[in-house]
Amino acid sequence: MMRRGQRITGLRGSLIALGILIGWTAVGLAQPREHIGDWRTQYQELARTADPRADKAHSIFKRLLQVAGTRPDVVPQLFITASDPWDIMLPVALSDGWIILSKGALDICYRDPARGDDRLAFVLAHELAHLLNDDIWHLRFLQALAALQQGRAPAPDSPAFAVRRSASDTEAVLARELRADERGIMYATMAGFNPRAIVTEDHGVNFFADWLRALGPRRLDGISVDRLRPTPQERAETLRTHLRRVADNTAVFQVGLWFYDAGDYPRALQAFADFRVLFPSREVSHNLATSHHQLALQAYQAWQGALPLPLHLSLTIDPLTRASRIYLEGPTRGGAAKPSTHAEHFRQHLDEAITLYREALAHDEAYTPAALNLGDALIVRGLQAGTDGLNDDLYEAVTMLTRALKRAPMTPDTPAIHNSLGVALFYLKQWENATEHLGRARTLVPTYAAPAFNLAYLARLAHRDADAQRYWSEYQRIAPPPPELPAPSQHPESVMGLTIGRLDTNVPPQWGAPVKSTVRVGKETYTMATYPTGVRLLVQDGEIRMLLVREGYEGASSQGLKIGSVVHEVLARYGSPTRQVELTQGHSWGYEAQRIAFQLRDGKVISWLLF
């Protein structure tokens, strides 16, 4: 019969092999804490200012949350300890929604600096997957193991006893870990991180083995790595198999974003709809809803020759910059669709957008981008029903936007929420409240043009001419008329001489060997090729359809912009964009004449797309 000490060692060995993100020592365990307050009391936090990697970790965590979402009862948050509790390389998920990460985990992730961000993203995404699935077995296992080490056998009816029994079941634990691996890789890839920093097809990269080696022999408590099952190699092979499927699936999501940035909303809609079948997250529902929303605006402008309302909402961009040609020309492409068809398409797309925004909020009721866009869509639909008498859509918009403000009083979307709430209240004839909210939006972000425009409009209607002129002058200062565009380049935009429409056989050899994924959007099949030089191609039938450059690309656009160029350089060299797209993190500026779209975050260019 196995003695208690042998049993503990066996349990440790299983957790090393199966819980790849935790390493054990022979040091005795204190009773694990379940709530963040206990951790704050016992352990010093690694401040973002004390370690640049801690600052990166919080930024990466925020990006992952944009994709993964939250549970209705849990908003995930991150706490980084300045030391390794119990000499263990954490992370671990707590029952109250916090994820604990230790400095030692940062050390391991950044041993290879080039892969550090991507590996840390996977570590955090893995724990997010556990948390969002209400699977905090690591913490419960710690509690059961602590009881065993202290010579206390858990009562047969206690949670610790059940955990001990299930944790010693290799298949059960493996299933939990593999599920978290699969979700974690999906979250990290959707957030823009490279899954091949974890494992690669050529077996040249195996983060699981790297992690285990980094723990050092003394942490294995005398257990031979060769005897552990599953081994890091087996674990990596399982994930490698899954990655082949994930790579294709997440590429569909990425291509949807490309089509959206290019203004090709029908194809963006199709890509997000396809991906939603595989991964129905809040982000996907939101992007699908926004694609319908944009098509509704296009249809309305084709139908009425104007936008649905004179006031400015955050989603309202200029649909004329690139109306989808296939969509607007109709199925026969024999000319523009009839006005009645445009009216029908407007209502269908707007109704579908509203349904999908609600679906995104069902995934995460605190997701303010969906709340904001839902409010805007309800305002537009409400105005088509008229504003006389009770207008359910307008009242629901006010309720939705007010609730969003109370739930998260200060987020990046707060000024836009105040602006939209002011617009809704104006149409409900609550002019004083409308002016108050528009004023708050203007005060929070003095460079936000929409509330200045709307305040000028309201003042003009109220015959307050001096106020109207003051607000209009302010609006013109914030959003001056587009300057004359620079003279068009004699050559189309290219990347190292490669242009849209060329064959992929013309890719320069110095780009290196690409990693390819097959992407199916509706009935169309594409290939996404990712090169080591920071370039991605979207190819159809051998022809380059789109081309993206991102971090790592050292070249420049035809007007001399590089990754890291700032906003004023974009304006100086390309003029004002013909299409502006609000993203959950940043903006995309499209230039139809040059067929280029710049993605900006924190005032800097992070990538650009040729289409």
Per-residue pLDDT of 251-297, as tens digits, reads 888 899 899 989 899 999 999 999 888 777 788 888 899 999 999 98
Task: Kindly give, in sequence order, each residue whose CB lies less than 8 Å from that of residue 73, ignoring residues fewer than 6 positions away.
Answer: none
Calpha distance 287→308 (Å, rounded): 21
| Closest to 373 in 3D by CA, of 431, 314, 458 | 314
Calpha distance 320→277 (Å, rounded): 31
Reported in sequence order, the residue ranges of 11-169 that DSSP labels E, i.e. its strands, are 77-81, 91-93, 98-102
Tokens of 41: 């009391």
Tokens of 175: 């299933």
Helix or strand run (H / E) with residue 410 = none
Domain boundaries for CATH 2.60.460.10 within the chain: 504-610
* Positions in the chain short of pLDDT 70: 1-33, 72, 86-88, 136-174, 201-202, 212-235, 239, 242-248, 315-340, 386-389, 480-491, 584-585
Please state the CATH superfamily assignment of the domain spanning residues 263-478 in this structure: Tetratricopeptide repeat domain (1.25.40.10)
User: pLDDT value at position 33?
Assistant: 61
User: pLDDT value at position 21?
Assistant: 44
Tell me whether the omega of the peptide bond preceding residue 156 falls within 30 degrees of 0, making it cis.
no
pTM over 0.95: no
Q: Which residues pair with 39 in a beta bridge?
A: none
User: pLDDT value at position 13?
Assistant: 38
Check if the beta carbon of residue 303 is closer than 8 Å to that of residue 295: no
3-state secondary structure of 430: coil
User: pLDDT value at position 339?
Assistant: 58
Helix or strand run (H / E) with residue 102 = strand 98-102
CATH code of domain 504-610 = 2.60.460.10
User: pLDDT value at position 86?
Assistant: 66
3-state secondary structure of 549: strand
User: pLDDT value at position 601?
Assistant: 87
User: pLDDT value at position 214?
Assistant: 67
User: pLDDT value at position 490?
Assistant: 56
Domain boundaries for CATH 1.25.40.10 within the chain: 263-478
Phi, psi of 77 (to 5 degrees): -140, 160
Phi, psi of 596 (to 5 degrees): -140, 145
